[in-house]
Structure 1
Amino acid sequence: MKKILFLVYCVFTFSTLSAQQRYELTDGWRCANIKEVQVGGSQISTVGYSLNNWMPATVPGTVLTTLLNNKKVPDPFYGMNNLQIKDVYDTGNAYYTYWFVKSFTQTAVGDEQIWLKLRGVNYKCEVFLNGKKVNAITHEGMHLRQQYNITKLLAANGENRLAILVYPPDFPGAPNGGQGGDGTIAKGLTTAYTAGWDWIQPVRDRNTGIWDKVFIEKTKGINLENPHVVTLVPGIRLPEGIQQPAMIRTSCEIENPLNRTVSGFIQYTLDGKVIKTAVALKSGEKKTVKLPDFELKNPKLWWPSGYGKQPLYKISFSFVDAAGKTADLENVQFGVREISTRWNEQTRSRENLVNGQKIFIKGGNWIISDAMLRFSNERYDAEVRFHRDMNLNLIRIWGGAIIERPEFYEACDKYGMLVFQDFWFSGDCNGKWQDPLKKDDQWIRRQYPDDHGLVLTAAADQIKMIRNHASLAFWCGGNEITPPDDILLPLKERILPELDGTRYFFDYSNTNDMSYNSIGGNGDGPYNIQDPKTFWSYKTYPYNSEVGSVGVGDYASLERFIPKQNMIAPQNGQEPDSVWAYHKYIPYDHHIDPYGKAKDARDFAMKAQLVNYDQYRALMEGFSAHMWDWYTGTIIWKTQNPWTSMRGQMYDYYLDVNACLYGTRKGAEPLHIMMNPLDSMLTVVNNGFATQRNIMVQASIYDLDGKLQDQVQAFAEIAPSTVQRMFPIQTQLKKMKGKDGAFVLLKLLNPQQQVLSENFYWLPGSDGKYTGLQQMKSAELKVTATKTTKGEIEVRLKNDATNTLAFFNRVALVNTTTGERILPAFYSDNYFSVLPGEEKMIVVGASEQGNTSLSVAVYGWNVKRQLFPIKK
């Protein structure tokens, strides 16, 4: 796969040789429904055929995206609009069957070969160029790239027209409210979630369209494809210092479309050395060529986030013919690392290692960036950065969606996120359980999809597409179920060993080989809100692939997709408003009420953030507290939403953060101090590879005004990759008995008295209610915002010593005129408290907004909302 890599904040471009040219076909596409077109592809694909009445089309994109962009349908992410859009199951497939047409200029001279490459079409397609059929057999399968040599079909004058007829999935499935609807969407190789799930309503066109990129590529005859780079890093390494050598093992596919034998060299340059091998190809021959192994001296090693840096190497594979001319090249970016696993007998779960060091997995489940497949490099970069900012180190790609795009993996390479990639199976659609909402019984569903050969072909293709990425860590057969044996065994025993051979394969996402299920049940969950103490006291699955909770955003988030008349706060024990229910709200149960019953939706959203923060901090702390004893890792279900759903998200569909993100960020700190809610024991977790010496462990207890009542501290030494119980503060907390609550501030200080970790808890009164919080006096913060030379904004918030504590404050970067938030924006912290006499600094990052006037909004539990100008 040719790679031109565009990464936000980190852009590089390989030098392009005259031997190669590649560009994307994006603007200028037109489309029309098949019912509106009376002629076939041979006529449509001629330059003279008129497209005057055809709609502008969005490519890459789906039919629904094009209809939305042309205002033919309402926004399905807002309110109940999705109900107004016709569903393909009801209309029949022709309703969403569309012609897509694009004109482009291209010629070929001499040995030049021109290739048409489509990275993803859903579900079937016929391809025509200049009046001729390009694909002899109808293309089928969403998860499969297409490549055609179109040299002989090009127009002599260079004016070409491409026409592609795209059909929806043969079996779109009834969107009957089940997981994957009636399940029959899984009969084809497409996105199962589009028939509906418990976190999304049905996508009406089932993602029909030219959903991924379309390229035209020119080579000087010889075509290089699918280069493969494997890095071997023996021994146990540390991130810093001189490194022992690493082995670089490479290969590349090569094809000769010319009518003569061609000979030459495949080569690349690394660390100033040229590595090459001779090759000769007969006319029409295609083969994979292995290059000599290369020993890289003192390599710069790639590490997961929180454990080290993520340096990346860039090389170009090229074919140089006997005359010394370069015929083609392939650009590759990779990181030098080795990922391995072993069984942990203590936890009875899989333990993961990178460069010989064990890594405690703190992950998030990922569905897809956008339910309508509106992908962008910028959005990928922002979403992956949010995961890095949460102190997570792994993203699992759930099996009901896609093999994620190279641009997603580029962001993961950049930010140090390991990736656990599922293939296209899910227990819900593929027969794990009895389900009255499914059309077919378990025995039939167990054999989905219908074409097993297509699955294996697509799997091999997608493996080649992403296998060079440092971040790709694990393959998985499916979500909660294996593929059928005639897919599983070839995939596991032949295809992956031949095409990759370096990554561990899990048969399915909660297999006993990953996490021994001694508890019973499905091997994952729970998915609903928990008492924070539960995460510390209840031993769940030792490497839990899915455990999660609630995730309602704040009021500004809700306003983006809930109509004003539906802004009705849910109450414990009552049915939520219809729009809330449609957007998959799950109850917070009684967890809001201790803060006072929600008076309205704004009040509910604020109190929900307190619950969100506490919930996810406790989740990560509970798992970290039992690192290597009960657990080798956990993966939150889930960390993002591709639709305006209200459950399981650290930021909303519009990339606006909520308190879930910052609670997770706090609880998942690599070096972290925390308090066990069961016995008030202070505990320190050190995920790093170095001993933390002469560390001060400090606990300070404050009353509800923010006045210090007690403090206890002690020096400690924390060994690497360990959890250490320090001392309880039960006695000190008992002194607060009878009060309406208290605050506890924990700190880890280095010998220079710099803060290494800080953690702020709010505790209820003896009745379990937060009466004291409800009675807090107002606090006023002095805020200054200054733009730095780095393009960031430093926000300083000072609380006068005479004030009460300023509790649970949110900072937001906004448009001064409209008050709307600038999205995405990245905050070094949020939902934080400021003690009397204390000053905090928050760093805000966002893309440049041109001449738009920006301000910083600040508000909190007892701090009224104010706007502050940004100084230059």
Structure 2
Amino acid sequence: MQKIVLDGIWELGICSNDTFRKNKINIVDLDSLCNSNITVIEGHVPGNYEIDLEKAGIIENPFYGKNLLKSLDREMDHLFYGKKFVLDKVINEKYILQFDGIDTIADIYLNGSLLAHTENMLRGYEFEVGEELLNKGDNELLVHIIPVSLEARKYDNPLFQNGLKYEMDSLNIRKSPYMYGWDIFPRMLSGGIWKSVRIFNKPDFRFIQSYLFVRNLNTDYSSAQLEFFYEVDLNEAPYHGFEIVLEGHCKESSFSMNWDVWSKAGHFTFDVENPLLWWPRRSGEPELYDVKVQLKKDGVCYAQKDFRFGIRTVELQKTSLTNENGKGEFCFWVNHKKTFILGTNWVPLDSLPSRGKERIEPSLKLVEDLDCNMIRCWGGGYYEDDYLYDRCDELGILVWQDFMQACGLYPENETFLRNFEEEVVWQVRRLRQHACLALWSGDNENDMSYGWLTNYRLDPNQNRNTRKIIPQVLRMNDYIREYLPSSPYMDETAYRYSTTDTYLPEQHLWGPRDYYKGDYYRNAFAHFASETGYHGCPSVESIKKFITPEGLWPYKDNGEWLLHASSPTMKKDETYAYRIELMANQIKVLFGEVPDNLEDFACMSQISQAEAKKYFIERFRIGKWRRTGIIWWNVIDGCPQFSDAVVDYYYNKKMAYYYIKRSQARTALIFDEPAGHNVQLYGVNDYGIDKDIKFKVTDVITDRIIYEGETSLPADSSVVIASVDASEHHAFFLLEWTCDGKKFKNHYVLWNPPFNKDLYMECIRKAGLQSV
């Protein structure tokens, strides 16, 4: 079989739409590209064209200073990617041409003939081509990428369609929403062939699709029943004599099954005795079976698939509503065991998506180091590379997977729904085999958008995208996995009861973003928070990498700061212009004033963020099982900016990173808030067995030991282990404990705002809490 990966260097032509129209440019191959008199440079696939423009010296770093403004002038650029390749044989041969990702609207030409038109960045495409379009020897591929801003103007926009100010065009275009400008990303529409391209002989025999899944797992784990589904292409060969041979191995455990082929598709079930189970982090080991499935006849293998498989079940138990007494539920059960979630939201790792893959491994190392057991792939981005899900399988990190719609009322016409349905089918079939994949979620905040945008005159349960298209695709392709139509989700009962999210068991806890211990955060009814966060300024070292020297200070009325807090312009009334002042106000809330220099501003902002995220996490942990999980926002930035992330784009960790790591220890000591003259100390144990600890509480300011003792923490629980005098309102408590021979630390500030910054930093130094 001849297989050619077409990644690497391509010819890249670029011209404005004005030039394209006035000069009546018609580029269908490399000759017409070279003779077009437009700019032609060396391009790269996978890639985004801004990267190539910068390499060619045509533009400066688009993320530095005010350069983000210049990207707005490129929104009407046409792109032309050209590549030559050689085939040894084409007579009586069929080839498959695969594009894993094109951003976004594209005409594809093969040897000067139009092969296909694509309209979706968020899925892959494959085309069967034969000798009528291919040459023996030299061949040419030309991809014309059309500006999405131009394409969006072709669509009708009924009153119903609505979204964020900068996102309206995105509703009709299946392109990553964040690229239009979000509160965590600058507007940079970009374009390019952002994933790999390859061409190969179409095999005579192949697996079109397959899926191995768990039908049933005994509650005592003594046996699991598995089901294997397959669809094969036998070309025109008769079925008789073909068989499916399936084998799986994990350490001392194995299974095998042979099945005669009598149809294009089939199912068979079998039992595995004493299976090794896949468990998420904090619950056990993520055991994976190496599986080989072959299509054989008379001992000869005609097709083969290899993959890794985890035996596990995941259920989501949820209610429509909850109340102040916690009469409700939103809880994940893995392998019949309640699982408390400590996770982080996962957003695109780079504004330019072709660069995201190289950032997956270092970003996952952060998630692993923080001991998170879930990431939520946010619906404003894109579906991640296979590598992410492979590694999450291996690391035991559950994945909550949004489909890519966010904060809007999306089209419901047949053309859009058909495009979206094809995307959903493609992604479901691509990802469903992964043990890490815990949940499909229809979108990010679209149910809430019905409230924001229509005052709930319209019912989100009539949304055809999430209540009809996705459920039907899942019914056909992955009915064993849980589905949440929106996050947060407002079902018919909730819609009839209230037009706010106050009584929903799963919420995004953003609120007023004032004092992090205020009533909103302290008294939220939510069982599960799938978003919550707080601003934290990057380090001065990092800021100097994306802000010019003249723009470093002051922060007020600073256009560069606004641009790097996601405002598309430097106008003070832009939708996202509030974010810099929000960060400053959060400093003022905690310290009583905003500092007059950048160094103190960054430090005090990081303290504010660190204490806030520590509080949010610990509030949920001491409430276990009234609370069932928190997915905080977010682990790392996808661009240089001022944001809620705890690690900046350059991998520099903010103070919050270290606080979260301590707060998420599997055994943890955590103070509640004072009640009267006392404050209760909780011991939280996320292990499945009891844990003995030895602990002490010290007031760092007076160097006085307030409490010490030994206790046993019950398995998978949160219990009060001590009550401490809180009448001394200026205490800074250092909590130290030993478990399984390892030493741990945490802290608790008993002060009320305003904090004394110098005293706080001295306490941190004395307690040895600067980093871990």
With the shorter chain as reference, the TM-score category is: 0.7 to 0.9
Equivalent residue number for residue 211 of structure 1: 194
* Residues 245 and 293, structure 2, Cα contact 8 Å, conserved in 1: yes
Equivalent residue number for residue 330 of structure 1: 305
Q: CA 1:207–1:420 in structure 2 vs 1: closer, same or farther (change >3 Å)? A: farther
Please report how far the alpha carbon of residue 506 of structure 1 lies from its aligned counterpart in structure 2 after TM superposition. Answer: 0.9
1:538 to 523, 539, 544: 523
Query: What secondary structure does 1:228 align onto?
Result: strand
Please report how far the alpha carbon of residue 497 of structure 1 lies from its aligned counterpart in structure 2 after TM superposition. Answer: 1.9
Task: Measure the CA separation in 2 of the matches of 1:26 and 1:221.
Answer: 25
Query: What secondary structure does 1:511 align onto?
Result: coil
Equivalent residue number for residue 663 of structure 2: 667
* Residues 367 and 397, structure 1, Cα contact 8 Å, conserved in 2: yes
Write the deviation string for residues 570-591 of structure 1: whole angstroms up to 9, x where unpaired.
4xxxx35322222223324253
Equivalent residue number for residue 105 of structure 1: 86
Alignment partner of 1:358 is 2:321? no
Please report how far the alpha carbon of residue 699 of structure 1 lies from its aligned counterpart in structure 2 after TM superposition. Answer: 1.3
Equivalent residue number for residue 460 of structure 1: 425
Please report how far the alpha carbon of residue 480 of structure 1 lies from its aligned counterpart in structure 2 after TM superposition. Answer: 1.6
Q: Which deviates more from structure 2 when the two are superposed, residues 80-89 or residues 48-57? A: 48-57
Alignment partner of 1:606 is 2:581? no
* Residues 347 and 628, structure 1, Cα contact 8 Å, conserved in 2: no
Equivalent residue number for residue 208 of structure 2: 225
Alignment partner of 1:653 is 2:631? no
Number of matched pairs: 710
Task: Measure the CA separation in 1 of the matches of 2:181 and 2:131.
Answer: 44
Task: Measure the CA separation in 1 of the matches of 2:106 and 2:753.
Answer: 64
Equivalent residue number for residue 502 of structure 1: 480
Equivalent residue number for residue 117 of structure 1: 98
Please report how far the alpha carbon of residue 599 of structure 1 lies from its aligned counterpart in structure 2 after TM superposition. Answer: 4.5
Q: CA 1:772–1:660 in structure 2 vs 1: closer, same or farther (change >3 Å)? A: closer
Query: What secondary structure does 2:199 align onto?
Result: strand
1:717 to 689, 712, 729: 712
Query: What secondary structure does 2:178 align onto?
Result: helix
Equivalent residue number for residue 360 of structure 2: 380
2:232 to 242, 254, 278: 254
Alignment partner of 1:140 is 2:119? yes
Please report how far the alpha carbon of residue 611 of structure 1 lies from its aligned counterpart in structure 2 after TM superposition. Answer: 2.1
Q: Which amino acid counterpart does residue 380 of structure 1 have in structure 2?
A: I
Q: CA 1:140–1:253 in structure 2 vs 1: closer, same or farther (change >3 Å)? A: farther
Write the deviation string for residues 714-743 of structure 1: whole angstroms up to 9, x where unpaired.
332322222111222226x62xx6xxx543
Task: Measure the CA separation in 1 of the matches of 2:33 and 2:521.
Answer: 68
* Residues 687 and 720, structure 1, Cα contact 8 Å, conserved in 2: yes
Alignment partner of 1:688 is 2:678? no
* Residues 45 and 128, structure 1, Cα contact 8 Å, conserved in 2: no
Q: Which amino acid counterpart does residue 423 of structure 2 have in structure 1?
A: A
Task: Measure the CA separation in 2 of the matches of 1:39 and 1:267.
Answer: 54
Please report how far the alpha carbon of residue 403 of structure 1 lies from its aligned counterpart in structure 2 after TM superposition. Answer: 2.4
* Residues 47 and 161, structure 1, Cα contact 8 Å, conserved in 2: no
Query: Equivalences for 1:264-283 in 2 at 5 Å?
Result: 264-271=242-249, 273-279=255-261
2:434 to 469, 493, 504: 469
Please report how far the alpha carbon of residue 43 of structure 1 lies from its aligned counterpart in structure 2 after TM superposition. Answer: 4.4
Please report how far the alpha carbon of residue 459 of structure 1 lies from its aligned counterpart in structure 2 after TM superposition. Answer: 0.8
Alignment partner of 1:558 is 2:546? no
Q: CA 1:448–1:550 in structure 2 vs 1: closer, same or farther (change >3 Å)? A: farther
Task: Measure the CA separation in 2 of the matches of 1:660 and 1:380.
Answer: 21
Alignment partner of 1:29 is 2:13? no
2:560 to 574, 579, 595: 579
Q: CA 1:446–1:498 in structure 2 vs 1: closer, same or farther (change >3 Å)? A: closer
Task: Measure the CA separation in 1 of the matches of 2:463 and 2:620.
Answer: 34
Equivalent residue number for residue 159 of structure 1: 138
TM-score, scaled relative to structure 2: 0.83
* Residues 310 and 415, structure 1, Cα contact 8 Å, conserved in 2: yes
Task: Measure the CA separation in 1 of the matches of 2:492 and 2:743.
Answer: 33
Query: What secondary structure does 2:9 align onto?
Result: coil
Task: Measure the CA separation in 2 of the matches of 1:48 and 1:649.
Answer: 44
Q: CA 1:491–1:288 in structure 2 vs 1: closer, same or farther (change >3 Å)? A: farther
1:416 to 396, 419, 430: 396
Q: CA 1:612–1:338 in structure 2 vs 1: closer, same or farther (change >3 Å)? A: same
Task: Measure the CA separation in 1 of the matches of 2:511 and 2:631.
Answer: 12
Task: Measure the CA separation in 1 of the matches of 2:758 and 2:11.
Answer: 62
Q: Which amino acid counterpart does residue 296 of structure 1 have in structure 2?
A: V
Task: Measure the CA separation in 2 of the matches of 1:626 and 1:380.
Answer: 32
Task: Measure the CA separation in 2 of the matches of 1:702 and 1:675.
Answer: 15
* Residues 225 and 330, structure 1, Cα contact 8 Å, conserved in 2: no
Task: Measure the CA separation in 2 of the matches of 1:113 and 1:262.
Answer: 22
Query: What secondary structure does 1:729 align onto?
Result: strand
Task: Measure the CA separation in 2 of the matches of 1:617 and 1:553.
Answer: 18
Q: Which runs of 5+ in 1 are unaligned?
A: 1-19, 238-242, 282-286, 431-444, 777-803, 810-829, 833-841, 843-872
Task: Measure the CA separation in 2 of the matches of 1:52 and 1:319.
Answer: 51
Task: Measure the CA separation in 2 of the matches of 1:304 and 1:234.
Answer: 16
Task: Measure the CA separation in 1 of the matches of 2:294 and 2:265.
Answer: 14
TM-score, scaled relative to structure 1: 0.74
* Residues 74 and 85, structure 1, Cα contact 8 Å, conserved in 2: no
Q: Which amino acid counterpart does residue 140 of structure 1 have in structure 2?
A: E
Q: CA 1:42–1:489 in structure 2 vs 1: closer, same or farther (change >3 Å)? A: same
* Residues 536 and 676, structure 1, Cα contact 8 Å, conserved in 2: no
Task: Measure the CA separation in 2 of the matches of 1:620 and 1:156.
Answer: 61
Task: Measure the CA separation in 1 of the matches of 2:561 and 2:29.
Answer: 49
Please report how far the alpha carbon of residue 273 of structure 1 lies from its aligned counterpart in structure 2 after TM superposition. Answer: 5.0
Write the deviation string for residues 818-860 of structure 1: whole angstroms up to 9, x where unpaired.
xxxxxxxxxxxx733xxxxxxxxx6xxxxxxxxxxxxxxxxxx
Equivalent residue number for residue 387 of structure 2: 407
* Residues 357 and 385, structure 2, Cα contact 8 Å, conserved in 1: no
Task: Measure the CA separation in 1 of the matches of 2:33 and 2:295.
Answer: 35
Equivalent residue number for residue 307 of structure 1: 283
Query: What secondary structure does 1:29 align onto?
Result: strand
* Residues 533 and 677, structure 1, Cα contact 8 Å, conserved in 2: no
Task: Measure the CA separation in 1 of the matches of 2:38 and 2:643.
Answer: 45
* Residues 591 and 753, structure 2, Cα contact 8 Å, conserved in 1: no
More helix by share: 2
- Percent of aligned positions with the same letter in both sequences? 20
* Residues 33 and 98, structure 1, Cα contact 8 Å, conserved in 2: yes
Equivalent residue number for residue 129 of structure 1: 110
* Residues 45 and 162, structure 1, Cα contact 8 Å, conserved in 2: no
Please report how far the alpha carbon of residue 186 of structure 1 lies from its aligned counterpart in structure 2 after TM superposition. Answer: 0.7
Equivalent residue number for residue 831 of structure 1: 770
Task: Measure the CA separation in 2 of the matches of 1:167 and 1:808.
Answer: 58
Task: Measure the CA separation in 2 of the matches of 1:515 and 1:745.
Answer: 46
Q: Which deviates more from structure 2 when the two are superposed, residues 592-601 or residues 510-519? A: 510-519
Equivalent residue number for residue 439 of structure 1: none
* Residues 616 and 667, structure 1, Cα contact 8 Å, conserved in 2: no
Q: CA 1:555–1:348 in structure 2 vs 1: closer, same or farther (change >3 Å)? A: same
